Structure 1
Amino acid sequence: MPAWGADRIRAALAATLLACLAGPLAAQTSDLVSKTALRVCADPANDPMSMEDGSGFENKLADLIGDKLGLPVRYTWYPMATGFIRNTLKAGKCDVVMGYAQGHELVLNTNHYLTSTFVLVVPEDGPLAGVTQFSDPALKDKVIGIIAGSPPANHMARNGLIGKARPYQLVVDRRYDGPAVDMLNDLAAGEIDAAVIWGPIGGPLVKRDHPGLKVIPLLKEAEFPRMFYRITMGVRQGEKVWQRKLNSLIRRNQSEIDAILSDAGVPLVNDMGDDMKDLGQ
């Protein structure tokens, strides 16, 4: 066979191979993302973040992003528990999770749109209203509610506060159980002296349901583990084009995102987690 003939055959085979490889790759990066709707994966009962009736602040964020894209928002509802990503985002039933911790390997994270921290919730007019960190002697011998296994438990143990702590479940089906809601109700009823909750949950619940309670962002705990986390939107691994599109939307609409979060009662802190965010910037 002439040399040029063999070269053409090799080139044709190479082109065919590249085409075969390009198909799945293209599907991973763009073809799976809907062009007709913003398809969101969410827990239907994750109050105050996502709710099937659309009242959660993550629902409002989805509405904002959908509006900027010129697309209606459509939901796939699934409890936020084991298998959530596998059965929703990875299964191609939706294209974004509105709130996901930065660096989580199950998803491809967008740039963060929110940085928040754990908070101490106490009676507004009570003796703990001036407490800002776990080392405060005023907390000694107090009954403090804590979500079992959450990062603040380490700090409480370090400061001798775990012995009398009241634990609340970490992993539950929010359609049937609400540990943060239960904790705040117990605090309002005087059954515990203080509550430690993730700010984006505790802040909005207090603002809406417990005007007599005070939310104190825990910004002064220097030891590990950190108390603040950056929250992103999560997309399927490999979908870099879609990730970049959302990054651009976040960057250009951060002030509107902040307004939604602030109005909901979410405590917003700076990227280093050591001070409240300046919403005037």
Structure 2
Amino acid sequence: MTVSDRRLSRIAVTLCLPVLATAVALGATASRAAGPNAAWELVDPDHLRVCADPSNMPFTDESEEGFENKLAELVAEKLGRESVRYEWFPMATGFVRNTLRSNRCDVIMGYAQGDELVQNTNAYYRSAYVLIYKKGDGLDGVETIEDGKLADKRIGIVQGTPPSSNIAAAGLMKNAKVYPLMVDTRFAPSVAETMVADLVEGKIDAAAVWGPMAGYYVKQADADLVMVPLVKEQTGSRMTYRITMGVRPSDQEWKRTLNRFIRDNQDEINRILLEYNVPLLDEQNQAITQ
């Protein structure tokens, strides 16, 4: 996920006064919409202000075709916001600092649970890294990286992600094709798109990649591909993660509002995610299909 500069500037008290005056005014407006506990929160009461990458399909993009774009539309509708407004910034170093922490927007639609840079809402989906391969191409039935059928196969992995350590432990690095962790998708295809294309073209035999990224391109692929969540690994790194919305640590009432939205609209959230072929898992690692 994102890596952000953790240094926060210290501002002199005298310079804070105008900012505090603005905070009081904005907070008073927010409190009328969200209750007395929101008095010091700088959340826009009229518009859903979303921090997002302008070119990061299948999550977000400027044409608003990603599943997090669709989720933002649902949030705005259910919470009575007039519209969704985006603060665009590449999902790279400084993303949180230059968007959410700068008060330019009020929510990051998808953020891994437990990251200290944001306050997490309740999780609205749980997913996993997946292994992808062609059906009928000798790997049918493979569910773990340790499976002997992968011993002589060329596996695509993303540098520094959890499956890479398992692939190394299984002695499969000698045949692996390593893809970069960070790609500027404004100028090049995403790593998941590239890996799926390479798999279809036969440049690799399998690919291990984050499921929500992979599912979209697997669904679009001109080949019969199998996508297996890596939930049966016996050793190595954790492959499953809960995904939340990220808000500022100070925005407690806003977090509670979003938690209520998630609780009341989980079925519709799942419908959006499944339309994009996101592999959804319950707490017992069973697939959620509707």
Residue number in structure 2 paired with 1:205: 217
The 8 Å contact of residues 274 and 289 in structure 2, kept in 1 or not, is answered as: no
Question: Is 2:53 the counterpart of 1:43?
Answer: yes
Name the CA distance, whole Å, in 2 between partners of 1:52 and 1:228. 29
User: Does 2:255 correspond to 1:226?
Assistant: no
Q: 1:1-281 residue pairs with structure 2 within 5 A?
A: 30-71=40-81, 72-177=83-188, 178-272=190-284, 274-277=285-288, 279=290
User: What SS is found at the alignment partner of 2:175?
Assistant: coil
Instruction: State the shift of 1:209 in Å.
Output: 3.1
- Determine the structure 1 residue equivalent to 2:7: none
Displacement after TM superposition at 1:125 (Å): 2.4
Q: State the match for 2:32 in structure 1.
A: none
What letter is aligned with 1:39? Answer: R
1:60 is aligned with what amino acid?
K
Q: TM-score of the superposition, structure 1-length normalised?
A: 0.87
Deviates more, 1:170-179 or 1:196-205: 170-179
- Residue 172 of structure 1 and its aligned partner are, at CA, apart by 2.0
Superposition RMSD on alpha carbons, in Å?
2.0
Q: Distance in 1 between matches of 2:234 and 2:148?
A: 17
Q: How many residues align?
A: 258
Consecutive unaligned residues in structure 2, runs of 5 or more: 1-19, 29-36
Amino acid at match of 1:38: L
Q: Classify 1:110/1:159 alpha carbon distance in 2 versus 1 (closer, same or farther; 3 Å).
A: same
How much has 1:278 moved relative to structure 2? Answer: 6.2
Q: Secondary structure at the match of 1:233?
A: strand
Between the aligned partners of 1:106 and 1:51, the Cα distance in structure 2 is 23
Identical-pair percentage: 48
1:40–1:97 Cα contact (<8 Å) kept = yes
- SS class of match (1:91): coil
Q: State the one-letter code of the partner of 2:182.
A: V
Q: CA deviation at 1:184?
A: 1.1
**Distance (Å, rounded) in 2 between the aligned partners of 1:157 and 1:209:** 28
Question: Cα distance, 1:187 vs. partner?
Answer: 0.8
Moved over 4 A (4+): 26-30
Q: Which residue of 2 aligns with 1:9?
A: none
Alpha-carbon distance, 1:208 to partner? 2.1
Q: Distance in 2 between matches of 1:209 and 1:141?
A: 24
